């Protein structure tokens, strides 16, 4: 799957910034591929790029209309369809990370055929996976885990890819969600795999590699999230990480879209080691990644210093302060 860029990002009328995290993530890591955004009336998200109509984006050279927003459950609201058809008729491909296939939405397949454009369903892999084996593979792996969904797991591995490569590591980002696949042009939307094959798909995603090669696997959900822990568990087993980084947003009290209280960083470390030991007895935590966007600079630094001391682990906000301290720790623990 190779999705043509530049992109025109569709943010729908999502109720908050998290609802548009796909689009915002693409802009963060592939700003040069994004010509503009299209927001419907009532949209509460902003990817920070120019608002453009379909006609304007097309005139500027946009090749793919990317549905950069999600609603819980992954369906596609009917009132988005007209805009998507307008994009198709203008000559843009459409790419979506929703659970529902674009071709299953009445009208889209016909319009795409007529316009001679393609529909990309990033969540649906054409690959057939086996069940997991649990067998140890050569190469090193790092997985991000979290106290919740949407706490920076993808961001942290992307920042680590850049930071580790800058320091001479042989490291590759491995995408497990739609945004990551949009950003890297490959990967597996792990939450769209049939349940029996979650860990098998994760094994496929980070195959045997050179002993000093690092696969940096994008984590999903949380082992404590009542909707998504199954995905997190299978991904942990299949990734068999040597190292993991815990991602956390310190002002959140309940997990995303549910009323369940957030677990502590310690609970996540303990359960990740307990469960991860099944496929890698040497699994260890190498740091904590904090989304400090709700804190001012003094508060953020104080919070990071305290949590670092409490856990005797490096702690940083990759967006604000980089990932040097995490790369230092990886180099100390594993060499280069």
Interface characters, 69-98, with a second copy (x: CB under 8 A)? ---xxx------------------------
Q: Report which of 237, 253, 258, 175 is spatially closest to residue 3, judged by C-alpha positions.
A: 175
The encoded tokens of residue 88 equal 């198709």
Interaction of residue 103 with a second copy, rule CB under 8 A: no
3-class state of residue 97 by DSSP: coil
Interaction of residue 18 with a second copy, rule CB under 8 A: no
CA distance 200 to 173: 18
Residue 200's Cβ-count burial label (10 Å; 0-12, 13-18, 19+) is: buried
CA distance 189 to 94: 17
Q: Which stretch binds a second copy (CB under 8 A): 44-52, 57-65, 204-212, 254-262?
A: 254-262
What angle do helix axes 265-276 and 229-239 make, rounded to 10 degrees?
A: 50
Rounded least distance, CB 46 to a second copy, Å: 26
Interaction of residue 130 with a second copy, rule CB under 8 A: yes
Contact residues for 72 (Cβ-Cβ < 8 A; gap 6+): 257
Interaction of residue 191 with a second copy, rule CB under 8 A: yes
Say if residues 12 and 78 touch (Cβ distance below 8 Å): no
In angstroms, what CA-CA distances link 139 with 36, 239, 244? 39, 11, 15
Q: Which stretch binds a second copy (CB under 8 A): 47-55, 130-138, 165-173, 297-305?
A: 130-138
Interaction of residue 219 with a second copy, rule CB under 8 A: no
Kindly tell me which of 280 and 289 has the beta carbon lying closer to a second copy.
280
In degrees, rounded to 5, the angle at the alpha carbon of residue 52 between the alpha carbons of residues 51 and 53 is 135
Kindly tell me which of 40 and 258 has the beta carbon lying closer to a second copy.
258
Rounded least distance, CB 117 to a second copy, Å: 27
Kindly tell me which of 72 and 293 has the beta carbon lying closer to a second copy.
72
Say if residues 20 and 97 touch (Cβ distance below 8 Å): no
Among 190, 300, 315, 327, binds a second copy (CB under 8 A): 190
Rounded least distance, CB 187 to a second copy, Å: 15
Whether cis (ω within 30° of 0) applies to the bond prior to 6 is: yes
Among 24, 171, 192, 246, binds a second copy (CB under 8 A): 192
Say if residues 223 and 231 touch (Cβ distance below 8 Å): no
Rounded least distance, CB 242 to a second copy, Å: 16
Sites for a second copy among residues 279-308 (CB under 8 A) = 279
Q: Which stretch binds a second copy (CB under 8 A): 41-49, 76-84, 129-137, 295-303?
A: 129-137
The helix (run of H) or strand (run of E) holding residue 200 is helix 198-205
Interaction of residue 158 with a second copy, rule CB under 8 A: no
Rounded least distance, CB 160 to a second copy, Å: 24
Kindly tell me which of 220 and 291 has the beta carbon lying closer to a second copy.
220
Kindly tell me which of 182 and 224 has the beta carbon lying closer to a second copy.
224
Say if residues 52 and 87 touch (Cβ distance below 8 Å): no
Interaction of residue 226 with a second copy, rule CB under 8 A: yes
Say if residues 46 and 2 touch (Cβ distance below 8 Å): no
Interaction of residue 195 with a second copy, rule CB under 8 A: yes
Q: Given the rule CB under 8 A, which residues bind a second copy?
A: 72-74, 99, 130-135, 190-196, 198-200, 223-235, 237-238, 257-260, 271, 274-275, 278-279
């Amino acid at each position: 799957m190779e999705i043509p860029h530049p992109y025109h990002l569709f943010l729908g009328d999502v109720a908050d910034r998290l609802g548009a995290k796909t689009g915002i993530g693409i802009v963060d890591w592939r700003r040069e591929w994004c010509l503009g955004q299209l927001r419907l009336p009532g949209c509460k998200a902003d990817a920070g790029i120019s608002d453009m109509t379909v006609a304007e984006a097309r005139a500027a050279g946009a090749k793919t209309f990317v549905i950069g927003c999600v609603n819980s459950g992954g369906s596609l609201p009917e009132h988005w369809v007209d805009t998507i058809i307008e994009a198709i008729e203008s000559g843009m491909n459409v790419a979506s990370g929703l659970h529902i296939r674009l071709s299953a939405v009445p009208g889209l397949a016909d319009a795409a055929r007529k316009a001679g454009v393609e529909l990309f369903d990033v969540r649906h892999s054409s690959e057939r996976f086996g069940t997991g084996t649990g067998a140890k593979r050569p190469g090193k792996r790092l997985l991000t885990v979290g106290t919740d969904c949407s706490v920076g797991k993808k961001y942290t591995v992307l920042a680590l890819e850049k930071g580790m490569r800058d320091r001479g590591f042989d490291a590759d980002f491995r995408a497990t969600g739609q945004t990551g696949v949009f950003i890297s042009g490959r990967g597996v939307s792990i939450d769209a795999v049939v349940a029996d094959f979650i860990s098998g798909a994760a094994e496929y995603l980070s195959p045997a590699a050179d002993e000093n090669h690092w696969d940096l696997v994008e984590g999903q959900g949380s082992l404590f999230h009542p909707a998504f822990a199954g995905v997190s568990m299978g991904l942990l087993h299949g990734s068999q990480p040597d190292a993991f980084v815990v991602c956390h947003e310190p002002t959140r009290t309940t997990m995303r879209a549910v009323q369940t209280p957030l677990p502590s960083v310690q609970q996540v470390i303990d359960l990740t080691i307990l469960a991860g030991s099944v496929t890698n007895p040497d699994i260890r935590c190498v740091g904590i990644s904090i989304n400090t966007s709700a804190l001012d600079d003094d508060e953020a630094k104080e919070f990071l210093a305290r949590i670092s001391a409490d856990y005797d682990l490096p702690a940083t906000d990759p967006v604000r302060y980089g990932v040097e301290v995490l790369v230092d720790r990886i180099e100390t623990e594993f060499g280069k």
